[in-house]
Structure 1
């Protein structure tokens, strides 16, 4: 590949995952090897799943390629400041035959090999800001491409994390379904024993058996749901859906802090300034402004330095019928060329109008991006508040349901309770287990989603410890540190 004179490759990340890839998930060596993975870990940690997805996802690779395109565009715009030098060389076999009827002395036949070579130079010295506008346009498009790459990485990050939590929840629901099946089996055995001893009607046994069969059915469905979720997660990471994946328990790393009460307005305002989608829209607007200036400048004069030197060995002849003699020749010139567009059929006027309208479009898109980011942060914030509450509510509900079932089981064993009381308590306990698992999943997804909507996801947000703490760390600047410091303290307890 040709040499990168303007070092535009410095603006291109070494991997599709840019700065997101972590070196603590089995990748070793230089940056280029960070996207080289072995077999999935057992259990598979969230940071490893994210690493694999960011490296192997086709959307992140496409965004990476778009950055390369725009970086090359910056190099092309810088090249316009340098002179254009071209050289030509030609070698031909020349044959010239002249046959004058009646005057053979005037006839001639000459054959020669002719070499011709030339070098020309054209260097634009001044063009009323056209090249500068073109360079700024390409630089802003590069900034937009990098912001889009960041947004794509954050979206992929959020997607794989959501699928990870869904798979983890499916595993938890399967475990709950297995527990429910065991409880239903125990209830069926107890009811059968009472029927055998003649202290309960056969309907008790049949109802318990029905509940047991339903629990077995639900366990089979939970097994299928888990395999579907694991296949989706494997596909996110670029693996075969049949790849064996083992996940940590759904309740590992649960630590809530209810002191997170920072005003959401400050978070919205910061997201509207810093989110990658807003940064991309802002850069695209600046590129459109530069394009308008470039279009105007192309209709103005430009001043160039021009030069040319050529030489040849074209044979010379004294006249008609005279033989040719070897000869050499050369010519050269240099000077200043002024090119002034006088009339372009009014095309320039409409090109400028078009470029100006494009600026308006990009300005509206920037405002729309800010508005959407603000709404997304608001929704995610509210979902997080709900998630925090429901994790606590789910815990209380599970404790109550467990106590209710224990009491109903004891009453039934003592002969003072009926089978409906036992089966209702059993069903409530099963529902409470599922709701607890779903609340944990929703909470985890909501806190990560909030970081994604704020455009602040980083791979360092996933801290891996002995107890598998999935910490969400929001980077912040000193001037805006209060809200983000609170979020960091809340999430990482």
Structure 2
């Protein structure tokens, strides 16, 4: 929608907009990324930038901030006088029949007027509405932060799910290659009379199973990649994500607080809780404003009229008139309407308090669950590293023994299955560890892009050992 051009000082003369809007603009921070981004590899930080740029929820949050900024400006405007003026030209013609012996008349009058009204006293109604507008603007700002945290948390979950599925597909492809090599070697041994035909059948069965698992892993990888692409607004074929890289776990532990510290931090600073609390306080102020509507108000008025008042009978004589007055309005009875309006405002206070409690409980529950996942992920990550090292050493040893005829087909197949499972577990635990750390910060409302960049996301295969030792 095109903006109507106006002087800059008229865009916000009462300084109702928060400083954030002055910094980033009315529509939020400008996006530095094009939605048809053609980069071959999209990092997590880039994915978060794109989601925050193009997600409709983020744009809706900025619109809410502008809306409540306007409401605050409207509440501030109630303290200022209202000035109005008008000008008119009226002509009156009177025609009489000749028998009446009266002369026709024609009167043309130019009249002007100006009036000023100013509310001097209202027993707190304007102040309550201004406080309510301030609280609602604070709630909109906090809600925007909460939406940002939610978007980042969702993108992180989708990103690591897609990254894990991609790594699982690669691991299954490597397992298929190993199974193919085992089958080739077994058939060679069978032709030399060193293996039975049943060994070749077992190897062929293992290859078919590996191909089936690869097909399933490929379908799952495509599904997770599509979900992430839709979240970012990208065509699936344009998007690639970096592979998971094994990292030194001890260097990147972000869990430096105990659970009670995380809960206390979220209770005081989580934007969703802050927004719900601000809405509760706004409901209290709205009740005060509703109650003040039933109290007397005192208004000052001053008007000047030249050649009569508007809609007054015309006169051939010029006149000047000034009227100054104080008006005290006392509401007496409105059919109990205000009583029920106050009852509704009280119910809204109770509703907003319940919503605040519900939001607080949900946030603390999510933090407790994510903290447990993050803590457990550290232990499973270390265990998966040991498992992978042992499985790789076992596979290498079994490959050498099988090539020399010292191991049967079942032993090499068991070693291959163990290596495939170990690689899959390593990939899963790496993704769970990195995702849990960032999601914990997001659940606490403290995730920033700097935290994302501090987690290693290098483009490198998670494979740490040779896949084949066959000759």
TM norm structure 2: 0.87
Q: 1:256 aligns with which of 250, 261, 279?
A: 250
Q: CA deviation at 1:40?
A: 4.9
Cα distance, 1:312–1:254 mapped onto 2, change above 3 Å: farther
Match of 1:317 in 2: none
CA distance in 2, matches of 1:17, 1:434: 44
Match of 1:10 in 2: 18
CA distance in 1, matches of 2:188, 2:230: 49
Q: CA deviation at 1:67?
A: 0.9
CA contact (8 A) 2:279 2:352 kept: yes
Three-state SS of the structure 2 residue aligned to 1:246 is: coil
Cα distance, 1:227–1:467 mapped onto 2, change above 3 Å: closer
Q: Kindly indicate whether residue 383 of structure 2 is the aligned counterpart of residue 385 of structure 1.
A: no
CA distance in 2, matches of 1:344, 1:308: 30
Q: CA deviation at 1:11?
A: 4.2
Match of 1:174 in 2: 169
Q: CA deviation at 1:390?
A: 0.8
CA contact (8 A) 1:44 1:245 kept: yes
Instruction: Answer with 177-186 or 395-404: which moved more.
Output: 395-404
CA distance in 1, matches of 2:308, 2:119: 32
Q: Deviations over 1:77-126 (max 9, x none)?
A: 000000111223333443323337xx3313x4334444333222211011
CA contact (8 A) 1:90 1:117 kept: yes
CA contact (8 A) 1:12 1:67 kept: no
Q: Kindly indicate whether residue 350 of structure 2 is the aligned counterpart of residue 360 of structure 1.
A: yes
Aligned residues: 444
CA contact (8 A) 1:313 1:326 kept: no
CA contact (8 A) 1:301 1:340 kept: yes
Q: Kindly indicate whether residue 277 of structure 2 is the aligned counterpart of residue 293 of structure 1.
A: no
Higher relative CO (CA 8 A, sep ≥ 6), structure 1 or 2?
2
Three-state SS of the structure 2 residue aligned to 1:87 is: strand
Match of 2:84 in 1: 86
Q: 2:180 aligns with which of 174, 179, 185?
A: 185
Q: Deviations over 1:449-475 (max 9, x none)?
A: 111111111122122699749xxxxxx
Three-state SS of the structure 2 residue aligned to 1:256 is: helix
Three-state SS of the structure 1 residue aligned to 2:101 is: helix
Matches within 5 A, 1:268-283: 268-283=263-278
Match of 2:394 in 1: 404
**Unmatched 5+ stretches in structure 2:** 460-471
Q: Kindly indicate whether residue 210 of structure 2 is the aligned counterpart of residue 215 of structure 1.
A: yes
Q: 2:234 aligns with which of 228, 236, 239?
A: 239
TM norm structure 1: 0.83
CA contact (8 A) 2:302 2:323 kept: yes
CA contact (8 A) 2:81 2:119 kept: yes
Q: CA RMSD in A?
A: 2.6
**Unmatched 5+ stretches in structure 1:** 19-30, 315-323, 470-493
CA distance in 2, matches of 1:459, 1:16: 22
Match of 1:318 in 2: none
CA distance in 2, matches of 1:260, 1:430: 30
